Chain A
Amino acid sequence: MRMRSKPLHPWPLRVMHWINALAMLLMIGSGWKIYNDEVLFGWLHFPDWITIGGEAQGALQWHFFAMWVLMLNGLAYLAYGFATGRFRRKFLPIRVTEFVADVRDALALRLSHADITHYNAVQKLLYTGIILVIVVQVLSGWAIWKPVQLSELVTLFGGFQGGRLVHFLGMAAIVGFLVVHVALALIVPKTIGAMITGGPKVDPPIDPDGQAPVIANSPTAP
């Protein structure tokens, strides 16, 4: 029996994606304001107009509000990704040879975006990588929020200032990812459409070994 084909990005995933986008922007903007009060690098102050919260207390209020949204949404996303097998289907396997070939193609501007249902090796690595970075970012955030109650955790990050530095570098990695992610989405606008409307219908996975889903009605469909 064949199951009904589903959109590339089912609705729970799209909802979680945009909640995450909003929460992440709030975390970054308010975090920059909090950072400004005691900078890690003398040469780096974030201009007030790109920060969120107005004053320090406002920024802290936003940060400690958006963290719940980000964490609860993130937990839901991880649960969804593992439970539905989406992570396994979309992100695995990541092969070194494919990665090297894709990087070479990307640099030569030869990487195809015709099929947005399929992630190339660079995308797989970036998406898995950013999920791990956000997990570490949440942990370092907990460590510097609760350096006494969670003193074991802050030790793991090399103490309070070590935790602050990890939290800053995590932010830098997320912002870096965001720049690339948004730029590529703008270059291939149908990916933005797909994250809003769901995108093309794909057949549900039939093969439990993690065979990638294929576009419905395509000639290669089984």
Chain B
Amino acid sequence: MPIRSPSPSSFRPKTGVDQSVLENNRELLADIGRRNILRGSLSLGALAMLTGCDVTSDSAVQSVLRRVSSFNDRFQEFMFRPNHLAPTYSEAEVVKPPRFNAYYDVNDVAPVDGATWKLELAGRIADKAPWTVQRFMQLPEQEWIIRHICVEGWDYIGQWSGVNLRTFLETVGADLKAKYVAFKCADDYSGSIDMATALHAQTILATKYARQPITDPYGFPLRLRTATKLGFKNPKWITAIEVTNTYPGGYWEDRGFNWFAGL
């Protein structure tokens, strides 16, 4: 039985393929290859974004996003209206108790002992003597019924009273031209706000909710309440305040949330 020719087609060259075409157009071929790789990577990138793959953690993308977030900090600082008051509400609209929020569950709240609690002061402050609850209660009190808005999207109306932060900073001789006011908390939470917000009329160091001392889950004995920032910018169980020109960051901010977080 005759073995069939490996090249049954009369159109197939007998001498193999002419390689000179490849040789003469090497550059063009390389270019086509590059273009395809580029095109492929573009559509892969688009696909990855559409499917929610973790592109965000890629360092180059992450660096761009962080830079835009810093730009958004400056933009929000620029559009902040220092004399514009947030809307206030009637006592009838106040939600009791307030809504709990922290980076852990409400059952894991470790109560702070008011008898031994001290507020430490640091940084650009003239009188750094620590404050006790008794001393704090002697400061003039003011009340705001304002909306708490969480970055997640929920909100409630709360009735907070305490000392105006500006009044407190003036009392202790803080440098009001410094950039940041930073807070440390009993639960290892930390946060910081810009000086313009610290000096806003509706920013207070709150000691009471609905005219009663703040209860443990909501920050006893001292927490920040500002009407012009998202909920996570209001540290609870404050144990130290620092006035500084060095960016202090914060618990959520260090994990990628926008620092200014203004409302």
Contact = CB atoms under 8 A, between A and B. Distances in A.
B57 interface: yes
A37 B252 CA distance: 16
Contacts of A58: 54, 56-57, 65, 256
Interface stretch (B113-121, B143-151, B163-171): B143-151
Contacts of A151: 84, 86-87
Given A52-B52, A54-B56, A60-B258, 11 more contacts: A34-B153, A52-B55, A53-B56, A54-B52, A57-B252, A61-B66, A148-B84, A148-B86, A148-B87, A148-B263, A149-B84
Main secondary structure of the interface of A (DSSP, over half): helix
Interface string B197-238: 000000000000000000000000000000110000000000
A21 B152 CA distance: 26
Interface string B152-188: 1111000000000000000000000000000000000
A146 B147 contact: no
A60 B263 contact: no
Contacts of B256: 55, 57-58, 60-61
B10 interface: no
A95 to B, nearest CB: 38
B233 to A, nearest CB: 12
Given A54-B57, A64-B72, A37 B51 contact: no
B49 interface: yes
Interface in A143-160: 146-149, 151, 160
Q: How large is the interface on A (under 10, 10 to 19, 20 to 34, 35 or more residues)?
A: 20 to 34
B262 A61 contact: no
Interface of B: 46, 49-52, 54-57, 64-66, 68-69, 72, 79-81, 84, 86-87, 147, 149-155, 227-228, 252, 255-258, 262-263
Contacts of A55: 56, 256
Interface of A: 22, 25-26, 29, 33-35, 37-38, 48-58, 60-62, 64-65, 68, 146-149, 151, 160-161, 164
Given A50-B51, A51-B52, A61-B65, A56 B151 contact: yes
A64 B86 CA distance: 23
B69 A61 contact: yes
Contacts of B150: 38
A25 B49 contact: yes
A37 B68 contact: no
Contact of B155 (A50, A68, A161): A161
A57 B68 contact: no
A37 B51 CA distance: 19
B52 A29 contact: yes
A16 B116 CA distance: 62
A48 B52 CA distance: 7
B262 A29 contact: no
